[in-house]
């Protein structure tokens, strides 16, 4: 079943100046969709519109068949949408345990400890740092904590905005491997990335967004091997 369906989405910060200008896609459970494109194309805006942080001008977003139109951002986690923003994605002044407890608070009381334990198993680095402030974590650990926070309520859809930004190539590999594991459990993953090579390596499908519109779409492998696409939109500099 389609976990996330986006239709003719127009969204932006000022209704007169939409940034996302008519984007449609479907994402099935267990699949990874990479959202690529040059800087300023509107990738983050699209992701934030899905999360409810940016005003939707027209079009629709359906999560597991139900429209999200009037659902406020804070209610979307309960509906099954986890979102990892690109920056400021952990509560730096709170401890790692508190960061996890906050997201777990929407679960029934009995289930919370079990989900927190599951996250600490999935991201063992976090277990050791539990009592420390999240602001003290390394870049990679922060990213893990942000993912754990978004995953703790077992969402159907996980949206990540450039999770590889600022990480070493080795850590990028670790994050991507984790994402593949997560998708394998049936979660639909929408992966916004600048690191095209890393994203296409794990994506089932990919969209290339240019000036708020889908310029190319296709299977991950197809796009990866398409030299015209690489030359046009991806640029050699990203192919790390």
Partner 1 sequence: MIAQILVDGITSGAMIGLGAIGLTLTYGLLRFANFAHGEFATWGAYLALLVAGAIGPADPLGPLTFGWPLLAALAASMVLTALLAAALDGVLFRRLRRHGSAITLVIASFGASLALRSALEFGFGPQPWYYTRDIAMTVRLGPGMRATWDQLAVLGLAIVLMLAMHLLMTRTPLGRAMRAVSENPDLARLAGIDPARIVRVTWLLGGALAASAGVFLGVTVQLRPSMGFELLLPLFAAAILGGIGSVPGAMLGGLIIGIAEAASVPLAGAQYRAAVAFVVMLAMLLVRPSGLFGGRGG
Ligand X SMILES: Nc1ncnc2c1ncn2[C@@H]1O[C@H](COP(=O)(O)OP(=O)(O)O)[C@@H](O)[C@H]1O
What 3-state class would DSSP assign to 191? strand
* By the rule CB under 6 A, 40 interacts with ligand X: yes
Beta strands in the chain (DSSP E): 2-12, 20-28, 32-36, 55-63, 66-67, 81-84, 157-161, 188-192, 205-210, 213-219
Q: Which of 154, 155, 156, 172 is nearest to 164 (CA)?
A: 172
Using CB under 8 A as the binding rule, whether residue 132 contacts partner 1 is answered as no
133 counts as binding partner 1 under rule CB under 8 A = no
Size of the site for Mg ion (CB under 5 A): 1
Window 110-129: contact mask with Mg ion (x via CB under 5 A): --------------------
Residues 184, 190 contacting (CB under 8 angstroms): no
45 binds, among ligand X, Mg ion, partner 1, none (CB under 5 to 8 A by kind): ligand X
Q: Should residue 63 be labelled a site residue for partner 1 when binding is judged by CB under 8 A?
A: no
Bridging pattern class, strands 157-161 and 81-84: parallel
117 binds partner 1 (CB under 8 A): no
Residue 216 lies near ligand X (rule: CB under 6 A): no
Distance CA 24, CA 8 (A): 5
With CB under 5 A as the contact rule, which of the stretches 44-52, 68-76, 128-136, 142-150 interacts with Mg ion?
A: 44-52
Q: Is 42 in the site for ligand X (CB under 6 A)?
A: yes
DSSP for residue 230: I
Distances (CA, A) of 100 to 70, 205, 238: 27, 31, 33
Minimum separation from the CB atom of position 93 to partner 1 (A): 5
User: What does the per-residue mask of binding to partner 1 show for 138-177, with x meaning CB under 8 A?
Assistant: -----------xx--x------------------------
β-pairing, 55-63 vs 66-67, is antiparallel
The number of residues in the chain equals: 240
Closest to partner 1 by CB, 148 or 234: 148
Contact flag: residue 115 with partner 1 (CB under 8 A): no
Residue 195 sits in the site that holds Mg ion (CB under 5 A)? no
Distance CA 168, CA 138 (A): 11
| Pairing between β-strand 188-192 and β-strand 32-36 as defined by DSSP bridges | parallel
Nearer to partner 1 by C-beta: 36 or 51? 51
User: Does residue 80 belong to the site contacting partner 1 (CB under 8 A)?
Assistant: no
103 binds partner 1 (CB under 8 A): yes
Cβ atoms of 199 and 36 closer than 8 Å: yes
Instruction: Give the nearest residue (CB) to ligand X.
Output: 44
- Residues of this chain that bind partner 1 (CB under 8 A): 51-53, 72-78, 83, 85, 88-94, 98, 101-103, 105-106, 149-150, 153
- Residues of this chain that bind ligand X (CB under 6 A): 13, 19, 37, 39-45
């Amino acid at each position: 079943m389609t976990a996330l369906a986006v239709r003719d989405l127009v969204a932006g910060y000022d209704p007169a100046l939409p940034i996302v200008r008519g984007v449609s896609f479907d994402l099935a459970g267990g699949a990874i969709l990479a959202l690529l494109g040059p800087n300023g194309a509107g990738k983050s805006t699209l992701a934030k519109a899905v999360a409810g942080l940016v005003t939707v001008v027209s079009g629709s977003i359906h999560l597991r068949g139900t429209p999200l139109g009037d659902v406020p951002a804070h209610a979307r986690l309960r509906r099954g949408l986890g979102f990892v923003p690109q920056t400021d994605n952990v509560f730096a002044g709170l401890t790692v345990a508190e960061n996890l407890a906050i997201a777990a608070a929407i679960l029934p009381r009995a289930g919370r400890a079990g989900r927190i334990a599951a996250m600490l198993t999935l991201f063992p680095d976090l277990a050791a740092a539990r009592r420390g402030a999240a602001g003290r974590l390394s870049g990679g650990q922060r990213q893990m904590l942000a993912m754990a926070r978004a995953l703790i309520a077992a969402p159907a859809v996980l949206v990540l905005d450039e999770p590889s930004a600022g990480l070493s190539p080795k850590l990028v590999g670790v994050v991507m491997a984790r994402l593949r594991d997560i998708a394998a459990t049936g979660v639909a993953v929408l992966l916004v990335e600048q690191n095209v090579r890393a994203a296409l390596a794990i994506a089932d499908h990919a969209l290339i967004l240019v000036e708020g519109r889908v310029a190319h779409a296709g299977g991950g492998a197809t796009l990866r091997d398409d030299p015209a696409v690489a030359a046009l939109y991806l640029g050699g500099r990203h192919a790390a």
